[in-house]
Amino acid sequence: MKFLIDADCPRSIGNFLRSLGYEALDIRDINPKASDQEIYQLIKERSLILITRDVDFGNILRYPISPPYGIILLRVYLLSINEITSVIGDLLSRTPERDIVGSLIIARKGHYRIRKI
């Protein structure tokens, strides 16, 4: 899986994902002023999994999901970067790739919800 880290997430998430063997890009390195629509087009074109805290991406009517891309929406307010990476690591270790690709995943500390379209 390849990930795109949104500008509202710590850059260190990318380092964490790369340490697990994943490819991780950061939107700030590609187009720091990208709109939500531009980010959505990018994940579709490049088959990426977006990691974001922007709740607008939770709107499946505006941003429909289908393979080979997906969205992980982090609901991790007031958590440290170690706690955030723990949430992501737990999700990735417990969830098969087939359930991440083509899904909207809402991830919280100790809980996540997967919505397959």
CATH code assigned at 87: 3.40.50
pTM given for the model = 0.96
Alpha-carbon span 102 to 21, nearest angstrom: 21
Q: Count structural domains, the chain.
A: 1
Phi, psi of 37 (to 5 degrees): -65, -40
Query: Does residue 68 have a cis peptide bond before it, meaning omega lies within 30 degrees of 0?
Result: yes
In tens digits, what is the pLDDT along the chain, a chain of 117 residues? 999 999 999 999 999 999 999 999 999 999 999 999 999 999 999 999 999 999 999 999 999 999 999 999 999 988 999 999 999 999 999 999 999 999 999 999 989 999 987
Question: What is the residue range of 38's domain?
Answer: 2-116
